[in-house]
Structure 1
Amino acid sequence: MKLLFICTGNTCRSPMAEALAKVILGPEFDVGSAGMSAWEGAPASDYAIKVMEDRGIDLASHCARQVTEELLREADWVIPMTEGHEIRLCAQYPEYVKKIRRLGNWGLSGQDILDPYGGSLQIYQSSADEIEKMIYDLKNKLDNLA
């Protein structure tokens, strides 16, 4: 199964989600990420790298990429970080509406993952904690779909 996590710049939230999902979901999942307004090739933010490093995950080689129609077509699930991303993706790519589902909607929280960009290390840690919890919710739902 192929999952694509989406945020704004593909330097904070979606790379952390991608990295955490690879660990939590395991090798049977093909996991990637992209950004709605990404600068192609930009590295992950320093704090995102640090927060993942503290969890034993290497994010230093991450390169941002822009959302494309091809990425959406290839994904089984497109998982944006916020309702705003979800609405925008559904509007721009109506043919993929059935496979676009915000991360917070895989569990009971329904919440958005707020952008930590420009925030403190503690804000990034909190963001990673929220993402990790929601990835476990995602795992439970995907296990039930199988």
Structure 2
Amino acid sequence: MSLRLHFVCTANICRSAYAERRAPTVLGTGFACSSSGVQARPGLAMDPQMAAQLRARGIDPTAHSSRRTGAADVRQAGLVLTMASWHRTLILEEWPDAVTRVFTLPQFVASARSTPFAELGTTHSDVIRAAYRHRVPARSVGDVADPYGQGPEAAAACGLTLDKLLIELGDLLTPPRPPRRSAD
């Protein structure tokens, strides 16, 4: 069974769009990824600078079309990961029942990292519940900086930041399994 990850930013043309396209190549199988923006205008292509970051990693960005965050996005996701704390706040104001599944991406990584290993469990749901129990304040770990209109250097820095966070996310959501016993 795959875990549905939903990435959220402002316009769904830079950070969340990048994360949606990049995550499958970093996380591998077992994850379904989507994205949206809390203030998105539907139907826009990805920002050219962030699209260039995906192309540099061998990923085609052309199929992306921006979407506004809706109820189905939040309700159907096993984990909603926003790029900034204000995105998280907006989502929780609209859908407060999702509080245990909505984090900023840096917040989720920091919260899961701070969870004692024995409490992480062996399933995606176990890790998400444990991260919620041990969550750190979203503002304490910062946001993923918005590269929009800031040039290629900002886009490159954003891509590297997201890559690092996605690698950590994959490590945290794929807990090690006990070693198999050798055949007798």
Q: TM-score range by the shorter chain?
A: over 0.9
Letter in 1 for 2:107: N
Question: 2:68 and 2:109 mapped to 1: Cα distance?
Answer: 27
SS for the counterpart of 1:101 is strand
The one of 138, 141, 145 aligned to 1:110: 141
Q: Count residues with an aligned counterpart.
A: 146
Question: 2:165 and 2:157 mapped to 1: Cα distance?
Answer: 12
Per the normalisation by structure 1, the TM-score is 0.94
Q: 2:85: which partner in 1? A: 83
% identical equivalent positions: 28
Q: Which aligned pairs between 1:28-47 and structure 2 lie closer than 5 A?
A: 28-47=30-49
Q: Name the structure, 1 or 2, with higher relative contact order (CA <8 Å, separation 6+).
A: 1
Question: 1:21 and 1:90 mapped to 2: Cα distance?
Answer: 24
Alpha carbons 1:106, 1:134 under 8 Å: kept: no
The one of 149, 160, 173 aligned to 1:142: 173
Question: 1:111 and 1:131 mapped to 2: Cα distance?
Answer: 13
SS for the counterpart of 2:141 is coil
Letter in 2 for 1:79: L
| TM-aligned CA deviation for residue 48 of structure 1 | 1.1
Matched, 1:128 2:159: yes
Question: 1:73 and 1:106 mapped to 2: Cα distance?
Answer: 18
Letter in 1 for 2:160: D
Unpaired segments of 5 or more residues in structure 1?
none
Per the normalisation by structure 2, the TM-score is 0.76
Letter in 1 for 2:79: W
| TM-aligned CA deviation for residue 120 of structure 1 | 0.6
Unpaired segments of 5 or more residues in structure 2?
111-139, 178-184
Alpha carbons 1:3, 1:77 under 8 Å: kept: yes
Letter in 1 for 2:61: L
Question: 1:142 and 1:60 mapped to 2: Cα distance?
Answer: 28
Alpha carbons 1:24, 1:136 under 8 Å: kept: yes
